[in-house]
Amino acid sequence: MTKRRRFATLPPVTTPELAVGAQLELRGQATDAEGSGVVEHAGRQLHVPGLLPGERARVRVDNLARFSANAYGHMLELLEPHPQRRSPPCPRHRDPLAQASHAGTCGGCPLMHLNVAGQREAKRERLRGLGLELAEADLIGGDEWGYRWSSKRVVAGKLGKLWLGSRRADPLAHTGQIADMHGCLVDHPAIERVFEQLVRQANLERIQGWRPGHQDKPATGDLRYAWAKTDGERVLLTLITSPGEGDADHSRAAELLPEALMAASPELAGVAWSVQPERGNAIRGRAPELLAGVGTLTLELAGVQVEVGPLGFLQPNPPMAAQAYLDLIDLGDAEPRERVWDLYAGVGVTTALLRARHREVIACESYAESAQALGIAPMAVEDFLLARKAERPDLVVANPPRAGLGTEVCARLVELAVPRLHMMSCNPESLAQDLARLAPAYELERLRGYDTLPQTAHLELVACLRRR
């Protein structure tokens, strides 16, 4: 008889003082990366949506993480509100104190019940918890509403009653819940108008929304996602669909919607089509096909003309991103250099700015569409640094994705012994980790933050380092 193989498991983390169902009176201490309140209690970090730093509330514990010191709960009663707490202006904002179902409500602006000045102080406090000090004058803010120039939507609803939403950014949400995003206050008004027309036309044409299969049941439907970008006036819309039946890609949405949308939406510059055949939640699909109008938008970022295509990256808040790019290039150090490397170059804004200041600038970018716009072959930063390990630039500029530089890239940068290193980060946690990895060789000279996404916990950061 074959014996079953037994696998060792880690012992669960247990805290007798904190149990599921317990009701506690607690005071908020900070916010986490998702904008929830955080309280250190009984050896755990208790995360509570809607709880602001300094507030006292009665909280119910809902879940204890098995293999970490995290715990999760929700507010039952707010006992002492934050002095800058406000009534959220968005009717779809999820009320953390509501006892009814949260279905259809949005958790995408978790700090909306705190005014902007309070939000920015909470973000500075979050950085302090990571060992990063940000002066009040070094936290730059912009528009509170209508700032998002790039927006992705999930198609939801029934035949004839489709609507556009987003997956719930909410720890209390169940898997698969979609929040209705109609009338979103942070989307650019031109994008919101185009989305409204898309819903109207899709329902008139009886377009089917895509439905994922499960187990042996195949996926069904047509229109999966909509992705809109604007230059501040015009909008480029991409319809992302399932492949349809048969060998060739087919979509009623791609056939019937573009002409009607172009006629009904004065701000719509073009409609593109991409196919996403996978079952998962990835939005970016196959290479796009232009169906109507123009296939790119031209934006000016920090004085640089940038072309953005249907599936290319666009900073959601370009005016604030422009200030961050300028600081990334020469914050506290505008001295011309002989050789500069621009890592994670993206659409090429930093590359153009650097080339206006320095003698030789070499860019590295892994995403094919952006690399093509730069006139370079796509390459991962790890491969780029390995291929050029014998060279030594005078300055390295890096704008990595949310995960940060990581152990391997940091180690190679330390080996390079570059005199100066400028970094841009959209994730304070990963930046703090990267700074710790670089600390043996580099010291932080200047840190500046940019409130690019008000109402959320998001914060862009620029860090300037010099070699010790």
- 298-351 pLDDT tens trace: 999 898 888 899 998 788 999 999 999 999 998 877 789 999 999 999 888 999
Q: Is the pLDDT of residue 16 over 80?
A: no
Same domain as 422, residue 290: no
CA angle 245, 151, 347 (to 5 degrees): 95
- 76-92 pLDDT tens trace: 999 999 999 999 999 88
Rounded to 5 degrees, φ, ψ at 72 are: -135, 140
User: In which band, very low, low, confident or very high, does the pLDDT at 425 lie, cut at 50, 70 and 90?
Assistant: very high
Q: Is the pLDDT of residue 24 over 90?
A: yes
Same domain as 284, residue 322: no
Distance (Å, whole) CA 144 – CA 137: 18
Say what the pLDDT of residue 369 is. Answer: 78
CB 52 within 8 A of CB 122: yes
Q: What is the mean pLDDT of residues 202-210?
A: 97
Say what the pLDDT of residue 4 is. Answer: 39
Same domain as 241, residue 197: yes
Same domain as 272, residue 321: no
Share of the chain above pLDDT 70, in %: 93
Least confident of 146-150, 203-207, 333-337, 405-409: 333-337
User: In which band, very low, low, confident or very high, does the pLDDT at 104 lie, cut at 50, 70 and 90?
Assistant: low
Tokens found for residue 256: 């019937």
Say what the pLDDT of residue 370 is. Answer: 85
The residue out of 297, 330, 358 marking a domain boundary is: 297
Whether residue 104 is contained in a domain is answered as no
User: In which band, very low, low, confident or very high, does the pLDDT at 186 lie, cut at 50, 70 and 90?
Assistant: very high
CATH number at residue 242: 2.40.50.1070
Say what the pLDDT of residue 174 is. Answer: 44
Same domain as 401, residue 329: yes
Whether residue 377 is contained in a domain is answered as yes
- 121-139 pLDDT tens trace: 999 999 999 999 999 999 9
Tokens found for residue 38: 């955080």
Q: Is the pLDDT of residue 236 over 70?
A: yes
User: In which band, very low, low, confident or very high, does the pLDDT at 168 lie, cut at 50, 70 and 90?
Assistant: low
* Number of domains composing the chain: 3
Same domain as 463, residue 324: yes
User: In which band, very low, low, confident or very high, does the pLDDT at 13 lie, cut at 50, 70 and 90?
Assistant: very low
Fill in the amino acid letter for 170. D
Stated as kind and residue range, the H or E segment containing 368 is helix 368-374
Say what the pLDDT of residue 100 is. Answer: 45
CB 92 within 8 A of CB 186: no
Whether residue 389 is contained in a domain is answered as yes
Can you give the pTM of this predicted structure? 0.86
Whether residue 400 is contained in a domain is answered as yes
Question: Cα torsion for 20, 25, 27, 29, to the nearest 10°?
Answer: -10
Say what the pLDDT of residue 102 is. Answer: 53
Same domain as 343, residue 291: no
Same domain as 437, residue 327: yes
Same domain as 452, residue 323: yes
Rounded to 5 degrees, φ, ψ at 443 are: -115, 145
Whether residue 47 is contained in a domain is answered as yes
Q: What is the mean pLDDT of residues 432-461?
A: 96
Same domain as 154, residue 231: yes
The CA distances from residue 203 to 138, 164, 422, in Å, are 47, 12, 49
Which positions are annotated as active-site residues?
Answer: 426
- Across-strand partners of 180? 165
Structural domain boundaries, residue 85: 1-95
Say what the pLDDT of residue 129 is. Answer: 92
Say what the pLDDT of residue 169 is. Answer: 52
Say what the pLDDT of residue 106 is. Answer: 82
User: Beta strand 442-451 with 460-467: parallel, antiparallel or unpaired?
Assistant: antiparallel
Stated as kind and residue range, the H or E segment containing 120 is helix 116-129
Say what the pLDDT of residue 176 is. Answer: 56
Distance (Å, whole) CA 97 – CA 114: 15
Say what the pLDDT of residue 171 is. Answer: 46
Same domain as 348, residue 280: no
Gyration radius of the chain's alpha carbons: 24
Say what the pLDDT of residue 315 is. Answer: 86
CATH number at residue 371: 3.40.50.150
Same domain as 325, residue 461: yes
Number of CB atoms found within 10 A of residue 103's CB: 12
Say what the pLDDT of residue 157 is. Answer: 94
Number of CB atoms found within 10 A of residue 374's CB: 18
Q: Is the pLDDT of residue 3 over 50?
A: no
Whether residue 109 is contained in a domain is answered as no
Say what the pLDDT of residue 173 is. Answer: 45
Tokens found for residue 238: 């991409």
- 252-300 pLDDT tens trace: 999 999 999 999 999 999 999 999 999 888 999 999 999 999 999 999 9
Tokens found for residue 171: 């720890």
Question: Cα torsion for 48, 54, 57, 59, to the nearest 10°?
Answer: 30
Q: Is the pLDDT of residue 428 over 60?
A: yes
Say what the pLDDT of residue 101 is. Answer: 47
DSSP string, 286-332: SPPEEEEE-S-EEEEETTEEEEE-SSS---SSHHHHHHHHHHHHHTT
- 343-376 pLDDT tens trace: 999 888 999 999 999 999 999 999 887 898 889 9
Q: Is the pLDDT of residue 446 over 70?
A: yes
Whether residue 128 is contained in a domain is answered as no
Q: Is the pLDDT of residue 222 over 50?
A: yes
167-189 in b/e form (b: 16+ CB < 10 A) is bbbbbbbeeebbbbbeebbbbbe
